[in-house]
């Protein structure tokens, strides 16, 4: 019986190497979706990635298109310059919650408020990953971190930051969505959202952000299976999935 191919890596976006992400980490899935979408759009030769520091920064080893490494938190500022200097490029930032919502919050809000015509892929796992498991802006109340060993406390650390809700208060962003990749159904939805965000850029519609709520078993201190349960029972409760802004539908 002839073999039937059921899977093929998106070569041209992803090199033929083994992923170095931790077991249970969802970065690899998101990378795969970005590759599939851009390949489908026929924009591989125009693709430019701007990434921050942290686990998102490790992605440079697992993509084979143009990559610019920004200083921690400055990806949106760098992407602004790249897109303005090379408007024909398909530019996206790939950032974690610490990079985008803490150190880079000013750059994120300012780029969104200006309506810069690039795409943001925002990975929200509620903690600083590669740098040591410190508390992030999105760390849940009561959730422990290396800088909050007794858990996040409202009176000391404030509440978790909600990026889609925050940016939805601005008039300019074109598309803001929070999604996940924990199930096949959510993977399909996330692929659709990423494609829409890139298509918005191709059509010159301005700033689009896709927030993907993911797990971090290593820094959460869980097995991959336990982390999935925490993701669904705790993270999704704090960060509800859904579309927070879609100007095309609002104006229809």
3-state secondary structure 96-117: EHHHHHHHCHHHHHHHHHHCCC
17, part of any domain:
no
To the nearest whole percent, how much of the chain has pLDDT over 90? Answer: 77
Three-state secondary structure call for residue 26: coil
pLDDT at position 11 is 59
Structure tokens at 105: 């919050």
Between 128-137, 156-165, 214-223, 236-245, the lowest mean confidence (pLDDT) is in 128-137
**Whole-structure pTM value:** 0.93
Pairing assessment for the beta strands 175-180 and 242-246 based on DSSP bridges:
antiparallel
11, part of any domain:
no
Mean pLDDT of 180-186: 97
Does pLDDT of 59 surpass 80? no
pLDDT at position 252 is 64
Does pLDDT of 190 surpass 70? yes
237, part of any domain:
yes
pLDDT at position 12 is 61
pLDDT at position 7 is 67
Q: Is residue 44 within a helix (H) or strand (E), and if so which, with residue range?
A: none
Task: For the chain, give the mean pLDDT.
Answer: 92
Does pLDDT of 58 surpass 80? no
**Residues 6+ positions from 64 with CB-CB distance below 8 Å:** 11, 12, 13, 14, 15
240, part of any domain:
yes
pLDDT at position 85 is 98
pLDDT at position 132 is 80
- Provide the edge-to-edge strand list for the sheet that holds 119-124: 66-69, 47-51, 90-96, 119-124, 208-213, 175-180, 242-246
**77-132: pLDDT as tens digits:** 999 999 999 999 999 999 999 899 999 999 999 999 999 999 999 999 999 887 78
The domain spanning residue 192 has which CATH number?
3.40.50.970
169, part of any domain:
yes
CB-count exposure of residue 35 (10 Å: 0-12, 13-18, 19+): buried
2, part of any domain:
no
Mean pLDDT of 35-40: 92
Does pLDDT of 1 surpass 80? no
Read off the pLDDT band of 226 (50, 70, 90): very high
From CA 220, how far away is CA 23, in angstroms rounded?
13
Domain with 224, as residue range(s), is 27-148+156-251
To the nearest whole percent, how much of the chain has pLDDT over 70? Answer: 94
210, part of any domain:
yes
22, part of any domain:
no
Half-sphere exposure at residue 88, Cβ-oriented, CA atoms within 13 angstroms: 2
Long-range contacts of the stretch 82-89 (C-beta < 8 A, 24+): 82/48, 82/50, 82/118, 83/116, 83/117, 83/118, 86/48, 87/117, 88/46, 89/46, 89/47, 89/48
As for how many domains the chain has, the answer is: 1
Closest by alpha carbon to 211, among 128, 55, 94, 72?
94
pLDDT at position 52 is 83
Does pLDDT of 61 surpass 90? no
Of all residues in the chain, what percent are helix, strand and coil, respectively (each to 5)? 40, 20, 40
Mean pLDDT of 179-190: 97
- The 8-class DSSP code of residue 160 comes to P
Does pLDDT of 21 surpass 90? no
CB atoms near residue 50 (< 10 Å): 26
């Amino acid at each position: 019986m002839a073999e039937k191919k059921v899977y093929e890596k998106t070569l041209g976006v992803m090199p033929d190497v083994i992923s170095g992400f931790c077991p249970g980490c969802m970065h690899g899935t998101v990378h795969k979706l970005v590759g599939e979408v851009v390949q489908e759009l026929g924009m591989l030769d125009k693709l430019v990635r701007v990434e921050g520091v942290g686990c998102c920064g490790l992605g440079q080893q697992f993509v084979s298109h143009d990559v610019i490494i920004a200083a921690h938190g400055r990806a949106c500022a760098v992407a602004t310059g790249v897109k303005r200097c090379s408007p024909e490029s398909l530019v996206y930032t790939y950032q974690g919650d610490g990079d985008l919502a803490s150190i880079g919050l000013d750059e994120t809000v300012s780029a969104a408020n200006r309506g810069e015509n690039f795409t943001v892929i925002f990975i929200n796992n509620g903690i600083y990953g590669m740098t040591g498991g410190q508390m992030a802006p999105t760390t849940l109340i009561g959730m422990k971190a290396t800088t909050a060993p007794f858990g996040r406390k409202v009176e000391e650390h404030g509440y978790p930051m909600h990026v889609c809700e925050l940016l939805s208060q601005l008039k300019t962003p074109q598309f803001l969505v929070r999604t996940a990749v924990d199930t096949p159904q959510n993977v399909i939805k996330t692929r659709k959202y990423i494609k829409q965000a890139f298509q918005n850029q191709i059509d010159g519609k301005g700033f689009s952000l896709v927030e993907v709520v993911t797990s971090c078993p290593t820094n959460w201190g869980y097995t991959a299976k336990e982390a999935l349960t925490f993701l669904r029972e705790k993270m999704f409760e704090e960060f509800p999935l859904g579309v927070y802004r879609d100007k095309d539908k609002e104006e229809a």
